[in-house]
Amino acid sequence: MTELSERKKQILANVVEMYVRSGEPVGSKGLISASGLNCSSATVRNDMNDLDRMGYLVQPHTSAGRIPSEKGYRYYVDHLMPHREPDEFTKRLIDAGISPAAGDPEKLVNTARELLADITKCAAVSTAPVGALNVIRKIELVPVGSHTAMMVLLTSNGILKSRLCRIESEFNAKVLEEFYSICDKFFIGRPSDEISPAGIQTIAASVDYDYFVLLPLLGAISDLAISTNDSKLILGGEANLLSRMDYGERAVSLLRFLSNKEPISEVIRSSKDNLNVRIGSENIYKQLEDSSVVVAKYNVKGDDSGSISVIGPTRMDYPLVISSMKYLTDLLGRLITSVLEE
């Protein structure tokens, strides 16, 4: 790749930022007026022609200004984009928005996703890990009646599930003692995807206690464990894409594509870094060739514990999106870690 001169870098950065703000092609005179470049319009025009020939800019119409190409956006994100913190308004918006959910890890992730969709005016996706990383951390049984109790299951990545369950005998001290003994022996510390109805039957039959008393409780554990693995991917803010003029009529087909969660799961799973930006055709699906997908992982107790992603047009405000995602995922990881350590 040919190294760009400092002036060409400045011109490219300004074209990207002006086009993101206005959605209009950028001409040499407008660029000089907005950026304060200390050179003639002819010099800027020549540099823009060079950037066009090099593939960083494109001219959508004859006699029009330039807009960034995919290559131009890529160079901007990798080399020219200012690395900054979110502004104070965005920080306050995130802090205030996420605070009411601070005691519930699953609500924290859902709130973070909705906040990100509102801030970026794009679609946002949240994921939580499954399998070996999704370990059962705690099971609580809280009697609410003589035969009824609320069961609560918490996983290591912060998914919290609960349901009412009923048994024929009374919830006395002996039942609770036997229940917690079985939980410690067979469930706590095990990956949730290893819990199955068939395994529950085997466990119930192997313990030295009344099979019919325990089976409804153990069945509830199985149901809750399975439900934690259904929390793989949740999409929000899809309506934002309908208002983005970049898509026009294509927004409907994009929404139809996003409603099939498996392809999006594959896109997110293929992102190995803590922050990954894929622009246009860098995405593995043709339906995303006019979009950028930004994936940021959040860490709980030092381990990857899911991700928050943004899907929007390639003409997105990358500094705003990326700085907001970094701030949000850092806060999310710290809050979930705090809940799990209580």
Contact 138, 187 (CB under 8 A): no
pLDDT of residue 134: 75
Determine the residue type at 322. Answer: I
Residue 308 contacts residue 126 (beta carbons within 8 Å)? yes
- Regarding pTM above 0.75, the answer is yes
Number of Cβ within a 10 Å radius of residue 46: 13
Pairing of strands 67-68, 275-279: unpaired
Tokens standing for residue 153? 């299951």
Per-10-residue mean pLDDT, the chain, length 342 = 86 96 92 86 93 94 86 97 90 91 81 94 82 77 91 83 89 89 91 84 79 84 83 84 89 90 84 91 92 92 81 96 95 84 68
Reference 85, options 323, 273, 253; nearest CA is 323
Strand order in the sheet with 233-236: 233-236, 123-127, 303-313, 291-300, 275-279
Domains of the chain listed by start with CATH number: 6-80 (1.10.10.10), 88-128+232-341 (3.30.450.40), 132-228 (3.30.390.60)
Q: How far apart are CA 334 and CA 98, in angstroms?
A: 12
Distance CA 251, CA 244 (A): 8
Could you tell me the sign of the dihedral formed by the alpha carbons of 213, 214, 217, 218, in that order? negative
C-alpha 113/C-alpha 74 separation (Å) is 25
Main-chain phi, psi angles of 135, to 5 degrees = -95, 140
Please tell me the distance from the alpha carbon of residue 309 to that of residue 224, in angstroms, as a whole number: 26
Length of the chain: 342
